[in-house]
Chains A and B, each alone.
Chain A
Amino acid sequence: MRNFILFVRRFFNLILFLGLEIICIVLIARTNMLQGNDIMSSANALSGIMYQKQNDVVTYFGLRRMNDSLINENARLRLSLARYHSVDTIKDSLVHRAIKQDDSAHVVQYNDYTYRTAKVINNSVSSGNNYITINRGSDDGIAKNMAVISSTGVVGRVVHVSAHFASVLSVLSVKQQLSAKLKDGTFSYITWEGDSPDVMVLKDIPQQIKIRMNDSVFTTNYSFFPADILIGTVFKMKVNTKNNLRLLYLHPSTNFRNIQYVYVVENKMMGERTRLEDSVKKGK
């Protein structure tokens, strides 16, 4: 026992050093699990309030840009609303009309999803996994794994929630992949390589699919995102020599550098769907 105490006293610095480093490693490892702890994120009350205060000051400088984007979005929404005003219901009911994939997507969208607005109070684009903090939390009905979109396209997924704040893992993250499709319905997945916030990669598209520059890429129903949300536009193509499939480089449609307002999308059917899918997995 005496020797042990002497040993501890002699190597106290080293033991403390190793102990602290082990705590750090445990913390790092824990965040990579799905149920990360909410205290250790910018969604907690203290850092949330500080970011809120800072944002109150900074937000004035972006008002002009924000107005522009809101006007553009209004115009787009009015346009899509106008399509529904002009539907001739009598004619529609008489003429037999095949239901297209597009139609069903719209119907599902209007029934299943609730949109909540939130303000971005902290944001980053420079790390390997970028997080956004928003000023809405569980009190406003935000829960983990809800999709987050902006007026221009996809943003990310809610990962930590506190009472008044939530942090969102943006799609600029090397941790997650995102299901995506081209205009003709060919679906694959999108990753981010961790370098530039202006470049994402759509992988494994067969070469026979015709693609032009500036083609749009959308979300699919297979992920937690609602379908047909714009992800980005193609600006470069490359053939992967290993498997002869194509890589498409996209410019994301959301500008992650100056994002200010987002919509948190709640999919009301998501709980049921996950339960069903999980039960299938368990049954195997």
Chain B
Amino acid sequence: MNIYIKNFFKFCLIVLLQVLILNKITLRWWAQPGGFPVFTPFVYPLFILLLPFETTVPVLLILGFITGITIDIFMNTAGMHAFATVLIAYLRTNVLNALLPKNLSEYPNQSPSVKNIGWMPFLVYSGFLILLHHATFFTLELWSLNNVGYLLLKIGASAVTSMLFIITYLLLFTRQSASRL
């Protein structure tokens, strides 16, 4: 299948997964006043993380903006998701370059996945960018530093939960054959 069509379907799948299922799950462990924050896991940055290695930075940025704005429209946050997603789209290439032993052009027609870069590098790569995304988003959303502990707790907890969902997604959708776009 054409790589563009494939990624378009992946985009639709991830956005629908986020909007129709994950946004309805509101994780809440203690409901005391000043207790543990209520949060929603975000897996949609995964679309940016899984784009092919060869994608150039401008394309990444524009796709990141489109993804973010789509989620923003569904969640009424107007620009906050887009801001965080554009940021990780910009840093994606640098993080990959720093993590991988080979040059990015040496992975023709491949996307970052557990198969071709291994579990550990992939978890570091996605973990770092997801944490950055969540930190940016929740800081923008709360827009105050009155309660730093609460903010950090919310960022940490939702990043960990998002990572669990991302690992689940990878386990579900990674094909056993080595060649995968």
Contact = CB atoms under 8 A, between A and B. Distances in A.
Interface in A187-210: 193-199
Given A41-B73, A47-B74, 14 more contacts: A20-B82, A20-B86, A21-B83, A21-B87, A25-B79, A25-B83, A50-B20, A51-B74, A124-B40, A125-B26, A127-B141, A160-B76, A193-B33, A193-B34
A254 interface: no
Q: Is the interface of A mostly helix, strand, loop or mixed?
A: mixed
A145 interface: no
Interface stretch (A26-34, A99-107, A109-117): A26-34
Interface stretch (B44-52, B57-65, B108-116, B169-177): B57-65
A225 interface: no
B70 to A, nearest CB: 9
Interface stretch (A9-17, A74-82, A88-96): A9-17
B61 A16 contact: yes
Interface of A: 12-13, 16-17, 20-21, 23-28, 30-31, 36, 40-42, 44, 46-47, 50-51, 54, 122, 124-129, 131, 160, 167, 174, 193-199, 236, 249, 257
Interface residues of B, number: 42
Q: Is the interface of B mostly helix, strand, loop or mixed?
A: helix
Given A44-B73, A127-B141, A195 B37 contact: yes
B40 A126 contact: yes
B180 interface: no
Contacts of B143: 128
**Shortest 4 CB-CB contacts between residues of A and residues of B:** A27-B79, A24-B83, A131-B76, A31-B78
A13 B61 contact: yes
B35 interface: yes
A70 to B, nearest CB: 23
A177 B54 CA distance: 50
A261 to B, nearest CB: 18
A17 B78 contact: no
B164 interface: no
A196 B79 CA distance: 24
Contact of B78 (A36, A199, A249): A36
